[in-house]
Structure 1
Amino acid sequence: MRATSKDVSTGGRVGVGILGLVQFALAGLALWDLSHRSAAQVRGPKPMWVPVILINWIGPIAYFYVHRHR
């Protein structure tokens, strides 16, 4: 038996929607930050970070924790 959207409660749909928006905002913020930093301020090549940032949740978090030179 397959679950459909009718099987999910309204609260569940709202929760998934909020998580999706947070994930989208986090990735957008990471991409914006990457585009506004010089290459000297980013650990590794800037083009490498774009696909990494697009990985759900892990990419943007990894960007903010790893990318900057300390």
Structure 2
Amino acid sequence: MSGKKWDELSPRSRRLVVFGAVVESVLKAIALADLARRPADQVRGPKPVWAVFLTLFNSVGAAPVAYWLVGRRKTT
């Protein structure tokens, strides 16, 4: 499977790619900010591992959602 170059994409496809990148960036920024502020005892697993996972894994939102659903402990 060969990917298309940016110039070969339709305008609609270009908009979808840009939209996905913006969504990914916003979700990552929010998750990383929460991770930085949250005490280590309120995070499941080591904070540095979550930071690397959130930073390096391109997922169109799946990595930040995984952090929000699995990585955070409920506060009382």
CA deviation profile, 1:37-69 (whole Å, cap 9, x unmatched): 111111111111111112112321211111122
Q: Which residue does 1:56 correspond to in 2?
A: 58
Higher RCO (CA 8 Å, separation ≥ 6 residues): 2
- Please give the TM-score of this superposition, normalised by the length of structure 1: 0.84
Q: Residue 2 of structure 1: CA displacement?
A: 6.8
Amino acid at match of 1:56: N
Matched, 1:67 2:71: yes
Cα distance in structure 1, aligned partners of 2:46 and 2:3? 44
CA RMSD of aligned residues (A): 1.8
How many residue pairs are counted as aligned between the two chains? Answer: 70
Unaligned runs of 5+ in 1: none
Unaligned runs of 5+ in 2: none
- Please give the TM-score of this superposition, normalised by the length of structure 2: 0.78
DSSP 3-state at the match of 1:50? helix
Identity %: 36
Cα distance in structure 1, aligned partners of 2:37 and 2:65? 17
